[in-house]
Structure 1
Amino acid sequence: MAMVVKNNMSAVNTLNTLNKNSSDMANSLKKVSSGMRVNGAGDDASAYSISERMRVKIRSLGQCEANTETGKSMLKTAERAVNEQVDITKRLKENAIKAANDTCTDEDRKIIQKETNHLLMQMNDISYETNYNGIQLLNGRTITEPYEPSFIPRVGTSTANRGGIQITESGTDPSTKHPPLVGKKVLAGNTSPLNFDYPDLPRSLHNQGFSSLCEACSQFASVLFDANTDEVLYANDKKPIGSMSEVFVIGIKNCRTPEDIGEAILNGLAKARAKYNVPKASNAIDSHHGIKFFKSSTNPAKYSLEANEQTQIIYNGVSGDVEFTGGVLPHQSLMIQGDTKASAETRIELPNTTLNALFPGSPLDNDWKTVPRQMDYPKEWPSDFVVEGSAEYEYYDKKYGCNGDIEQIRKEKYYDEVWPYPRKGASATASCVTTIQKATRFIDDLDQALKYLVNCATTLGAQCQRMEVMNENLVTSDESTQASESLIRDADMAKEMANFTKHNVLTQAAQSALSQANQGSSGVLNLLQ
């Protein structure tokens, strides 16, 4: 090998090895000191990205665990308060039974009434004073959405004209456009005469009707007939795209002629728009397109739909049902925020246990919509649910005047014993136990209140259990995510210590070798002497 002085390649090569060993030792030292294999995106870009997302998930799950814990604490606070109210109700029933006994005098009942009044006031105080972090829990601070009527189409109804309203123009294009309305599509002009001359009025028009459609915004406006009532109902079904379908249910119970039907529509539209605060003219059947219902000035039995400077599209033979959704019920709905799809925005129900909820016939009545609807009853009654001819059958028949109607008797029993909310008319007044008759009535009302309170307590307890399960699921998810993140990011300390020791030794060896390589150039000086 040549002896040179300008380029000492042995020293250069040794120096490069020294730098590499020093860099590897520094990386190992960083991993050992931090305990992490991935300290930044430069260590492992994909692993860094995945682990950072997992870290966000872990922190979110931790907060959600805290949310469920506080939610459970809030529910337990409410549950304990309701249990106190259940105990008070037991004492109230003892007082009512005592007052209903003939061994008590009127003076005794006055004393019992005083205790009863204080107990009732205490129940109300519990409802208004029970709070968690300033949130009132049992007084119905917030209420669920009110009952909203919604039109449900009879999907699959034949598009043939099998009744409904006869429209002067005829058409053959059955509509397949989106619900809510089904029927025969009729292209009409600005004015579409309608004919209500049917036999067997009003039954022949029951649950039938007609519609107009704006194809530009897909808004239906409809009139549907109900032969079982004289009332009017307005259903507004909002669509995701922003348009909506409007349905006016017109009661025609006492209509016997086509003119009666027409007048019922005119009066019903006006009444609905006033009652439900629906904008536009009193005879308009939609809110946006100027389609109105008119009576002929020359023929009292002739009626028509008229549109403002637009061609109407009429649907004949409309059929459907109006049902209620939502509900003004004596409870408030709050949200516990979770992180998983199964627990995100979990709704919990906090009951209203104030006196006007327990006794909805009291002067403080808020008109809770607690009466069962048809959909609330079982589709099929159990065979042993009130046996015809039994003592139970006779009791409910006599108590509620059902005239032997087994269906009605079963509904009354369901309302009394199964339906979780108190029966309308239950009351608690300042004289509820002052006479035997009032005390006897108050016993029944207390049974209704107790049924409701027990349902509230069990609902709160069940929701507490749900929070526990939800918390356990979140803890499991948290642990699993942390374990996954650890596999990606945490350093194997034994391995990294071994690497550090190896690189440390190699670095020291390279330093010694560099010193020896630098000594090689000094040999050239000996040749120059």
Structure 2
Amino acid sequence: MQINTNLDAAFTARQLSGAENTLTRAYRRLSSGLRINSAADDAAGLAISERMTGQIRGSRQAARNANDGISLLQTADGSLSSVSDALQRIRELSVQAANDTNSSSDRQALQDEARQLVQEISRMGETAEFNGEKIFSQSHSSIGGDPNKRAVLDGMRIGWLSSSETRIAQYYGIQGGGEKMYIGVSSFTDGPGNIAAFVGPPSQPGYFQDLQVDMADATPANLPNGGTYPFYTDRTVMHEMVHAVMNSAITQSVPTWFKEGSAEFIHGADERLKIDIAAAGGGAAGMAAVVGSVNGAGWASDSQHYSGAYVKVRYLHDQLKAAGAGGIKGLMQYLNKNPGSDLDTALQSLIGKNLATFESDFQANGVAYIQNRINLTNADTGAVGGLDADGGPEQTADSIVPFGGGKGYDPNDVLSGFKETFENLGGGAGSRQVSFQIGAKAGENLQVELGAVNAFALGIDDTDLSTGAGASVSIVHVDEALAYVNKQRARIGAQLSRLETAVTNLQSSEQNLIASRSRIQDTDYAAETAGLARSQILQQAAGGLIAQTKVTGQLVLGLLRA
């Protein structure tokens, strides 16, 4: 027995201390609701739970960000809806103005309303804001691209091509066989005053041929005719369409004078002929020079040769009519249906003369033909089917290619005989990039593109309803603007749907993370209260036993008394 060291008291004190520590920890957990109140409670658990807390709070803020983004896009969509309504009204006014029952004052009234709507579209696009920031891009880049090129393509889409095809089918009886044709305005130029347009080999794989317009000869476009006397882009396009259709419908080789003369005869070339006769000295001598320029198979691409070819084909047209062969139309159809024959064979079959005899007749009678059959003083152009050539309606430089005539405007299907592709001018309204942070980590964002919607960007700043031609152009431009706005709205709608999905996903992720963190960090009250009761009992028991450990010392005193 010893008194310096009371092992029982030491052991009991240690147990009491442990019970008190356990009791203290239970009190902290039960009072705070947290299983981990300091790093000492669970170092690894603390690190994991804190990382989860960052993810939870980041997800919560990302959801708020996404909801803010939804609000911004809803504001943008509301503005675009108003722009769309204004565009629909401008289109309605354009359709009304295109009707020739309207007087000049009527069209001016329509133009005044349209101008106000155009200005309001610009105002909405330039002032729409969210939280003090402009919503849309403020760029003035046009969806139509270069205005002159756009005007020429508009002319071809709105009527030049379809009117040409219709006229060729009516008076020549032939049309394309469904081949692919590329139509461009940027790939060719030889300067002003030379080749204004051409049909030639395809510039891209898979196409049958190209139709290219030289913008050096078509600027400014001056719709609806594409120019003024003596140059008209619409007639140039009709000329080239004859080549395009003949390339498809007539596979055999024919003389150049026949191809070029037919292309001139479709729209008439009296103005050119008059100028070339004067340039060659005028009178009979000038006429003889024009006729003689197409004597035989030789060809030079100058204006005199084109005039000579025009007169020669027109002379042939009358010869064919006199023989009951249906004029130039009968010849074109014969060549189309008899691909094994040449022009010589066709003429022998239709007028009983071979090509050489016809050539001699024309050289002998060409000057007299111009003097007696071609009227160079009236407004008729001398086109096939017109007043001078066939006793039909007068065909003037303005009326020969109806603007908005033919098949009509459809950007995907202008022609019946060809599958055409128009050059993409590369025009586009500027756009503004907006980034929405929709995740808890860096880089978890959504890029949103908001384009410009002012009148310049939409390509409607030059809307002109004061003429029927201007109204037709306006319909086309408004359709393009509506397609652009609708595309914007569709993209915004998709992004709204994505953001709403992102919010739902963030909320679900947050809920799951909270549940995971709770299992690590939160107090289990059932377990802790059971532990508390146990610790309280142990504390009380240890306290009582410490008192009992004094008995050993009392026994030692008893021994000493003895």
TM-score by length of 2: 0.46
TM-score by length of 1: 0.49
**Higher relative strand content:** 1
Structure with more contact order per residue of length (Cα contacts < 8 Å, sep ≥ 6): 2
**Higher relative helix content:** 2
Larger radius of gyration: 2
